[in-house]
Amino acid sequence: MSIQTINPYTNTVEKTFDPATPQEVEETLQRADAAFQAWRTTSFSQRSTLMQRAGDELAGNTDYYARIISLEMGKPLAQARGEVNKCAMVCHYYAQHAEEFLQDEDIRTSAVRSFISYEPLGTVLAVMPWNFPFWQVFRFAAPALMAGNVGLLKHASNVPQCALAIQEVFDKVGFPQGCFQSLLIGSREVEQLIKDNRVKAVTLTGSEGAGAKVASVAGNEIKKTVLELGGSDAFIVLADADVEAVAKKAASARLINTGQSCIAAKRFILEKPIAEAFLAAFSENMQKKRTGNPLEDEDIDYGPLARVDLAQELTEQVERSVAAGAKLYLKGGQPDPEKALFHPAILTDIQPGNPAYLEEFFGPVALVFVAEDAQDAIRIANDSPFGLGGSIWTNDIKRGQELARQVEAGAVFVNSIVASDPALPFGGVKKSGYGRELSYLGIREFVNQKTIWVG
């Protein structure tokens, strides 16, 4: 894929970038390595001052950064502003908490003193996707830099201006040169980078295929990885739920980021007594959502998908599912096969083995299942290759929590749409990946958890 900004709303090429040459890659790695030697010796208070400033820079210029996001991947501007603000929040969060999360931890043993010391690893490579092109990066960078590591970003090829703008944030607020760098390279160049001795660990957010490839190269090199991959989150509606209110939430949960979110609700599992009424209300809410030009129309709910090929792939997934017996309850879809716009759609009658039963649908297509009872709903929810998030909707909060424990996922929300929060761990089980981001667990992924024993 060439490294280009293509406005997905107009489908026009705005800018093309030359990939970094081997010489430029080498210089970038040298800068990162040199930066690490100095950065690792800085105090938490020095790092915190800079990270606080990075957060201030984002919070003070949301519109500037949001426009770059919307231009390159098509999300409505208001949502892009929200993304930039969330990045500011994660910078401020780790500026305030990193020291406490990485303090020496004394453990009582037979030693005079024994403790765990959390020490940085060095250059961490981040291979990142286009769907939340700022958030995915800051969610990695804020804890990694606060821990004393340095960051190297290989961003998705369709968001090069986001990649450069993120480096600009860190440079502008005074992070030493080399602490955070964006490398404009294609995915084929990633293998060589992972093999380089100066790269100590890798984090990837993206598809299962990219995750498997990166993890296998890193595994061969005995380098730590964190993988945040796809999801097909269940949205379980129990018979005692408020159908009208939850159907409204369901439409919003499916259309987060125009459906292109790993934690968007994708499979709607309805307890039989409310299934019909819920489906009707859900469909009505899906149809109420408005689209338009992400950069100009303020009052819209969804934009085009991020690339034409992604919309075509989604169309093809729907066609395969229908050919295998699923029914289109709400047709939606791509009005023009050469454009990235895709209207919300709903599939029902999905049997095991159907593509919609097994695959992630990364766009505004809701997959609906009917369950005999709550236990059957949990069984359907768990009968998936993925295990990222999920939600349960019920008027019985106690029962909701008990059922939440039974869902095989990294996060289950009761009566709330799944979302990430800097204070809580984020990540998956099964094919959704491994390792955790955010919270105190996230900052401890890329550190040497060293035992020090004093006899």
| Residues acting as catalytic residues | 228, 262
CA distance 435 to 20: 30
Are 253 and 416 a contacting pair, CB within 8 Å? Answer: no
Are 435 and 226 a contacting pair, CB within 8 Å? Answer: yes
DSSP conformational letter for 335: S
CB of 286 to ligand NDP, least distance (A): 20
- Residues in CB range of 124: below 8 A, 6 or more apart: 140, 144, 149, 150, 151, 152, 199, 200, 201, 202, 203, 446
Which residue number, 35 or 229, has a Cβ lying nearer to ligand NDP? 229
Question: What tokens were used for 449?
Answer: 């958890």
CB of 319 to ligand NDP, least distance (A): 16
Residue whose C-beta lies closest to ligand NDP? 206
Q: What residue type is 15 in one-letter code?
A: K
Which residue number, 62 or 131, has a Cβ lying nearer to ligand NDP? 131
CA dist list (Å): 420 to 52, 67, 333, 435: 20, 23, 28, 15
Which residue number, 67 or 155, has a Cβ lying nearer to ligand NDP? 155
CB of 151 to ligand NDP, least distance (A): 14
Are 94 and 80 a contacting pair, CB within 8 Å? Answer: no
Which residue number, 155 or 267, has a Cβ lying nearer to ligand NDP? 155
CA distance 422 to 29: 29
- Residues in CB range of 41: below 8 A, 6 or more apart: none
Nearest to 380 by CA among 272, 269, 275: 269
The distance between the two most distant Cα atoms of the chain, rounded to a whole number of Å, is 72
Which residue number, 184 or 243, has a Cβ lying nearer to ligand NDP? 184
CA distance 328 to 365: 10
Which residue number, 92 or 254, has a Cβ lying nearer to ligand NDP? 254
CB of 298 to ligand NDP, least distance (A): 26
CA dist list (Å): 49 to 45, 53, 94, 137: 6, 6, 11, 20
CA distance 374 to 93: 38
CB of 212 to ligand NDP, least distance (A): 8
CB of 155 to ligand NDP, least distance (A): 6
CA distance 178 to 25: 12
Which residue number, 162 or 173, has a Cβ lying nearer to ligand NDP? 162
CB of 189 to ligand NDP, least distance (A): 8
Residues in contact with ligand NDP by CB under 6 A are 1, 127-131, 154-157, 186-187, 190, 205-207, 210, 213-214, 228-230, 262, 310, 360, 362
